[in-house]
Structure 1
């Protein structure tokens, strides 16, 4: 039996980090998350994910902010919209989609893992984690971290980790 689950934006978040630094943590309360997953026999059979992240959050408490990568952009946004979901087995899935940063769009493939179920305030939620590495230079993002940010070193890749919660509809 297949069940349709919709994303719970208030319980979803994205962490963006580099090798040695937390760059930004973006909660669903400040950003736009959309999506659904189809679960059949306790396995994810299909998924569609879309999110839009505002990276100029003045309240961010990380040492290095994602806004530091953007130049001359008043409202920088990161957008992802999935185009396909591939299930390899129960624990290995891939989510392919369009990632847009600074008006540059690239097709990316992210690892997608169904974590399982949890009860939250009497409601059963399904947890899903999406992980992928992004080369900031592919999107025109350059940052000389060591000289301009108190010695913090930023690796050549940025890791995007989305922790997504879904409610049964």
Structure 2
């Protein structure tokens, strides 16, 4: 009887630990194969056949549709260059250049992965419509109130996430440093 009780207890503990760690990794993600450049983070393996099982489970759980490994890469940013959370009540400036890519998009999402609601129904910029400086660089203002030039409205939400998708680009698994992939900087320039 004691052996049966010990076995059942061990199985229950193993099941709780297994289900708990699986839930944690699918909700919070893992750092397996993560590429970090400044405030931007990407997982180049996520759209390919060599994806780890935890990332696969996260994709299934969230219903995400990742970019294929041969098609491009997606970087996300939840913080600015000083590690401060992106706040929709503050003015944030995304500026600089992007790595070589046939096409790119910069999209504003809330923390649940939904487009940020705003009266203009403006959610993103693309490489084809952005207004650039004479040297090829750009500046995008992300703020709750209108700004001159490239402006993405936040609707005043408290937290948001930026996603930069690069299509048909050499940036990927072999990328290791900002020199390999010059990503735009993110700076909080004003906060009430």
TM-score normalized with structure 1 length: 0.29
More helix by share: 2
Query: Normalized against structure 2, the TM-score is what?
Result: 0.27
The structure carrying a bigger strand percent of its residues is 1
